[in-house]
Amino acid sequence: MIIDGKQAAADLRKTLTLQVAQLKKDKGTVPGLTVVLVGEDPASEVYVRNKIKQTRDVGMISNEIKLPHDTSQIQLLAELQQLNSDDAVHGILVQLPLPNHIDESVIIAAIAPHKDVDGFHAMNSGRLLNGEPGALVPCTPQGCIILAKQHLGEDLSGLHAVVIGRSNIVGKPVALLLLQENCTVTIAHSRTKNLAGICQQADILIAAVGRANFVQASWVKPGATVIDVGINHIENESGKAKLVGDVDFANVAPVCGAITPVPGGVGPMTIACLLKNTLIAASTNG
């Protein structure tokens, strides 16, 4: 089975559209998301354009702040201070990566935690770690869980989940969400010994390593649910640009029970979950 992330994202946006309208009716609040983009990275510009369009499509207010590449850290901090104190702005997203002269951790720490719709601030990651309510949870990990449940149903308890990758954006938070779902969780990474053997034990295999076609069919337990977070740009045999995941899809698909494709799997869910977080932020602090 191929898990259709495009459809799941469209379904979630439909629900959010209704909830946004209801919030406006009940409280007069229209959720507002501001995206801050520093520099001219072409991939970031595409992501930001998609975010803005989808934010407006569900009835929210979307603003973009575009700053030149040579913006100083102090200037960016001043922008954030203004957004933090603007009551019409419920969610703030600073598009990553930032230029090298800006320290990402300083910027993330400067976003008001209740507006941190990426869920990257230590207050939110700490709440997630402690299982405390009120955390804004990172978007891609949320998308992974929703897609795994599409195939496995709501109850994931007792399943062995193997996460390949330990980033703050995906690997660590998705492992915590799986633990919350009562999975047995293994986090594997570039230094893991016998990676193939560990992956073979996985009922749920989440690949977030950033290496094209890395996960092989022989690593996958028959019937496993495979969630591919990778977005890798490669050239195909004829030299044309192609987008592939971290999983060798053609060979893994016949072995596993379900798999998310790239594109059209986890990717669309990330933005849908960003909108969900913006709605949560607006409902809590509108």
Q: Which stretch binds ligand GUN (CB under 6 A): 6-14, 62-70, 91-99, 220-228?
A: 91-99
Q: Is 70 a catalytic residue?
A: no
Query: 12, 48, 92, 93: which one contacts ligand GUN (CB under 6 A)?
Result: 93
**In the chain, helix, strand, coil percent, each to 5?**
45, 15, 40
Write the binding mask 43 to 72 for ligand GUN: x where contact by CB under 6 A, - elsewhere. Answer: ----x-------------------------
The full 3-state SS of 72-84, as one line of letters, equals CHHHHHHHHHHHH
Is the omega angle on the peptide bond into residue 222 within 30 degrees of 0, that is, cis?
Answer: no
Shortest distance (Å) from residue 16 CB to ligand GUN: 17
Q: Is 142 a catalytic residue?
A: no
* CA distance linking residue 61 with residue 217, whole number of Å: 44
Write the binding mask 237 to 256 for ligand GUN: x where contact by CB under 6 A, - elsewhere. Answer: --------------------
User: Scanning the structure block, which residue is given the tokens 């893991």?
Assistant: 192
Residue 55 neighbours by CB distance under 10 Å: 26
Q: Is 109 in the site for ligand GUN (CB under 6 A)?
A: no
Query: 62, 95, 124, 142: which one contacts ligand GUN (CB under 6 A)?
Result: 95
- 184-188 vs 160-164, strand pairing mode: parallel
Smaller CB separation from ligand GUN, 29 or 278: 278
User: Which residues lie across from 161 on neighbouring strands?
Assistant: 185, 204
Shortest distance (Å) from residue 43 CB to ligand GUN: 8
Q: Is 118 a catalytic residue?
A: yes
Q: Of 95, 116, 203, 246, which is the active-site residue?
A: 95
Is the omega angle on the peptide bond into residue 97 within 30 degrees of 0, that is, cis?
Answer: yes
Query: 52, 61, 88, 96: which one contacts ligand GUN (CB under 6 A)?
Result: 96
Smaller CB separation from ligand GUN, 195 or 227: 227
Q: What per-residue string of b and e applies to 83-102 under the rule 16 or more CB within 10 Å gives b?
A: beeeeebbbbbbbeebeeeb
* CA distance linking residue 102 with residue 134, whole number of Å: 29
Shortest distance (Å) from residue 219 CB to ligand GUN: 26
Q: Is 2 helix (H, G, I), strand (E, B) or coil?
A: strand
The candidate with the shortest Cα–Cα distance to 144, out of 169, 126, 109, is: 169
Q: Of 116, 118, 246, 248, which is the active-site residue?
A: 118
Shortest distance (Å) from residue 119 CB to ligand GUN: 9
Q: Is 118 in the site for ligand GUN (CB under 6 A)?
A: yes
Contact residues for 203 (Cβ-Cβ < 8 A; gap 6+): 159, 160, 161, 221, 224, 225
> If binding means CB under 6 A, how many residues of this protein chain bind ligand GUN?
8
Q: Is 94 in the site for ligand GUN (CB under 6 A)?
A: yes
User: Which residues lie across from 280 on neighbouring strands?
Assistant: none
Write the binding mask 134 to 153 for ligand GUN: x where contact by CB under 6 A, - elsewhere. Answer: -----x--------------
Write out the residues near ligand GUN by the rule CB under 6 A. Answer: 47, 93-96, 118, 139, 270
Q: Which residues are catalytic?
A: 51, 95, 118
